[in-house]
Amino acid sequence: MLPAMYAPFFGLRQEAFAIAPDPRFLHLSTMHREALAHLLYGLQGGGGFVLLTGEIGTGKTTVCRCFLDQIPPGHRVAYVYNPKLTPVELLQTICQEFGIALDAAAPPPATVKPYIDALNRFLLDTHARGEKCLLVVDEAQALSADLLEQLRLLTNLETTERKLLQIVLIGQPELRDKLARPELEQLSQRVIARVHLGPLTAAETADYVQHRLTVAGLSGPSPFDRRALARVHALSGGVPRRINLLCERALLGAYAEGRPHVDAATVRRAALEAFGAERPRGRRRGWPWAWPAGLLALGAAVAVAVAAVLPRHWPFAGTAARPAASTASAAAAAAAAAAAATAGSAASAASAPSAAIAVVDTPTPFADAEAAGAALAAAWGLAASAPGGAAGANGANTATGDACSRARTLGLACHQGRGDLALLRRLDRPLLLTLNGDGMVLLQALGSDHALLRGAAGEQRLSLQRLPALWSGEWLAWWRPPPLAADRPAADWALERLLALQGADSPSAPPVARDEALRRRVYAFQLAQGLPADGLLGPLTLMQIQRAAGADEPQLRAEP
């Protein structure tokens, strides 16, 4: 097979961009994590409908499989993947999926009533055993209005405490349009959670490509350069399935030319082969050796123009269209300038031009924790006050000099944790990273292939391929704690913020105790943020709730 021919050429053990779903290649972006969190939150909602929609190829099936894998024990699941059925056939399929047996000696029922009666008995028996039932309908945009109404009637099966059947509808965007029709208003009112999957951002596309290459065995530099990744995003629209098709064809094209790297021009030609996009006039004969010279010249001109523009605008990870540096106010920016003037070597190169930023194999850590804390204070736009807030009679600092002590003097909270590169992207804030050997550097930006770090030698760029071998996995972050009154616990503040972020429960959802409501919402938020999901309101979760609620905190910088 062709993949077996060219995969070793790029240092891969297998093809990285196969269309067939493979759980080893599972990569959930922030958007997919939020979708998964909504599904799991809806599962705890106690009945009704949960709606998951998205364009073709955006990962609905991937999210659904991950959702089914995470369903807790005590749930019975029925999965309908082909909803183009009659009402009788639909109910027959649901009963078969739940393992509900009708009288085998009798002829198949011609009406829906025997199936509904059997399903009702099954749901009551399951409820009596303390179990719950879930029905997942894929490709639900194919459901007729009559079938959707039939599903709504199934959710009428209930006890005095709760509904007996939870239904998840997965489909393309036209499913949302169907549910907006007046005749389906009753069903629409029973939807307790809605989530729509859109395309990946440019940074998420780069992460997705790198993840698949790594799982496929890549240990060296990526064959896709930065401009090629930008072109992959532009031509695929950020749709994962199209990304797979495009990258697979681009690797094949580079292999056919004997080149170990994929550039933007190769990606463009791959798009012509894979999608027919930007198709040149006349008959195509495949790869560049058969293309007209004029088209090659045009491609070269486009590549030069892209090369001149992209380096200035390439987004450095995180959320698209965010401010270039941080959300700090103008006053904080002014304080940052003042702090940079006094923070010594820790902040002296903050305004250095990009041409002066060296790419290194090993970053130079700060001399001590005090210098690291001063650099983090400068990143926050705060004066670099001494840790402990006091100095001895001779002016020497009498505190320990660690970064957390400095945070407290500045009215901030400090949190230390462990994680991976994906978590650093989701935290999206300046962080002190502990290197192997206990030295610390300040993470200021994350791109698709480099990290921007600050240490004793000023700003340096480090390849993300090198970072895992140098970084211990430990990080330290500052965050702005919520303004809590003495009589207002953090749990009340968190529940209020989560209600604002996630929306109120559906009126049809059964009431739950306050602590249980908080646990469910915290669990859903943790899943959406890619945090360890335990439902507990720990410091990391509080930190990210405060960020999501709009706290005035710096973000990772854009690429210099």
DSSP state for residue 349 in the 8-state scheme: T
171, 246: one domain: no
Q: Which residues, 6 or more positions from 313, have their beta carbon under 8 angstroms from its beta carbon?
A: none
422, 296: one domain: no
- Decide if 136 contacts 80 (C-beta within 8 A): yes
pLDDT for position 391: 36
- Decide if 270 contacts 236 (C-beta within 8 A): no
Quick one: average pLDDT of 297-322?
34
Do the domain assignments include residue 493? Answer: no
Last residue of one domain, picked from the residues 467, 486, 505: 486
Do the domain assignments include residue 243? Answer: yes
75, 117: one domain: yes
Weakest-pLDDT range from 40-54, 134-148, 316-330: 316-330
Do the domain assignments include residue 118? Answer: yes
**DSSP-derived secondary structure for 88-132:** HHHHHHHHHHHT----TTSPPPSSSHHHHHHHHHHHHHHHHTT-E
pLDDT of residue 222 exceeding 70, the answer is yes
302, 430: one domain: no
pLDDT for position 134: 92
pLDDT for position 528: 74
Do the domain assignments include residue 9? Answer: no
pLDDT for position 484: 79
Tell which phi-psi region holds residue 259, choosing left (phi > 0), alpha (psi between -120 and 50) or beta.
beta
Residue whose pair of structure tokens reads 């992207």 in the numeric block: 425
363, 454: one domain: yes
Weakest-pLDDT range from 243-247, 301-305, 373-377, 493-497: 301-305
Band of residue 319 on the pLDDT scale cut at 50, 70, 90: very low
Nearest 5°: the CA angle 224, 227, 233 is: 85
Do the domain assignments include residue 183? Answer: yes
Do the domain assignments include residue 71? Answer: yes
Burial of 100 (C-beta count, 10 Å sphere; 0-12/13-18/19+): middle
87, 222: one domain: no
124, 41: one domain: yes
Question: Can you give the CATH number for the domain in which 251 is found?
Answer: 1.10.8.60
Q: Where are the alpha helices (DSSP H) in 258-348?
A: 264-274, 293-313, 330-342
**DSSP-derived secondary structure for 220-271:** S--SB-HHHHHHHHHHHTT-HHHHHHHHHHHHHHHHHTT-SSB-HHHHHHHH
Residue whose pair of structure tokens reads 């697979």 in the numeric block: 248
Among 23-27, 74-78, 290-294, name the most confident range. 74-78
Band of residue 385 on the pLDDT scale cut at 50, 70, 90: low
Residue whose pair of structure tokens reads 């009798």 in the numeric block: 106
Amino acid occupying residue 246: L
- Decide if 25 contacts 12 (C-beta within 8 A): no
Q: Give 69 or 293, the one with higher predicted confidence.
A: 69
Last residue of one domain, picked from the residues 443, 466, 486: 486
pLDDT of residue 452 exceeding 80, the answer is yes
pLDDT of residue 157 exceeding 50, the answer is yes
Q: Which residues pair with 359 in a beta bridge?
A: 461
Q: How many domains does the chain have?
A: 3
175, 128: one domain: yes
Do the domain assignments include residue 300? Answer: yes
139, 248: one domain: no
Do the domain assignments include residue 174? Answer: yes
pLDDT of residue 289 exceeding 60, the answer is no
193, 309: one domain: no
| Chain segment 511-560, per-residue pLDDT in tens | 778 888 888 888 888 877 777 777 888 889 999 998 888 889 999 876 64
Last residue of one domain, picked from the residues 458, 486, 514: 486
Band of residue 345 on the pLDDT scale cut at 50, 70, 90: very low
CA atoms of 324 and 204, how far apart (whole Å): 17
Average pLDDT, the chain: 77
238, 212: one domain: yes
pLDDT for position 389: 41
| Chain segment 358-369, per-residue pLDDT in tens | 888 899 999 988
Question: Can you give the CATH number for the domain in which 355 is found?
Answer: 3.90.70.10
Q: Which domain holds residue 408?
A: 330-486
Residue 323: φ, ψ to 5°: -60, 150
Question: Can you give the CATH number for the domain in which 92 is found?
Answer: 3.40.50.300
- Decide if 418 contacts 477 (C-beta within 8 A): no
Exposure string of 4-18, with b = 16+ CB inside 10 Å and e = fewer, is eebbeebebeebbbe
Quick one: average pLDDT of 337-354?
39
Handedness of CA 407, 319, 359, 255 (dihedral sign): positive
For residue 485, how many other CB atoms are within 10 A of its CB? Answer: 8
191, 215: one domain: no
pLDDT of residue 337 exceeding 50, the answer is no
Band of residue 339 on the pLDDT scale cut at 50, 70, 90: very low
